[in-house]
Amino acid sequence: MPRQLVQYNLDSGGSVLVWTDASPLDAGQPVTRGLRDVGGAIVERAEQSFESAISQIEPAAQSLITRLRDSTHAPDEIVVEFGVSLHAQVGAIIAETSGEANFKVSLTWRNGPSPT
């Protein structure tokens, strides 16, 4: 899949450049968004800030963590890992592996009370 360089503005000022995979939704579509040249690379401007883009995945992660914490035998520790893919138009999405969503969840139970 072709890659593209996307500029995301930061809410605190400045910007960050991110290499992203070009979306299959963009195939055959003319690019009408603002583009600029940075050191010989064409950079597409994202339609939202970096923080806005990544905030789209927070509800999914929070829902998973809340569900695991609220279980009958809640673990003492929860670690959730997943890939994030950024797209200039739609923002952040959970990256896929072999056509499926990519989550790695580790749960830890300790014997006895937690140390203070």
pLDDT mean across residues, the chain: 76
Domain boundaries, the chain: 3-108
Residue range 64-102, pLDDT digits in tens = 889 999 988 889 999 988 888 887 887 887 776 655 556
Q: How confident is the model at residue 29 (pLDDT cuts 50, 70, 90)?
A: very low
Q: Which whole-number Å values give the CA distances from 1 to 16, 20, 41, 88, in the listed order?
A: 22, 10, 17, 15
Q: Is the pTM of this model over 0.75?
A: no
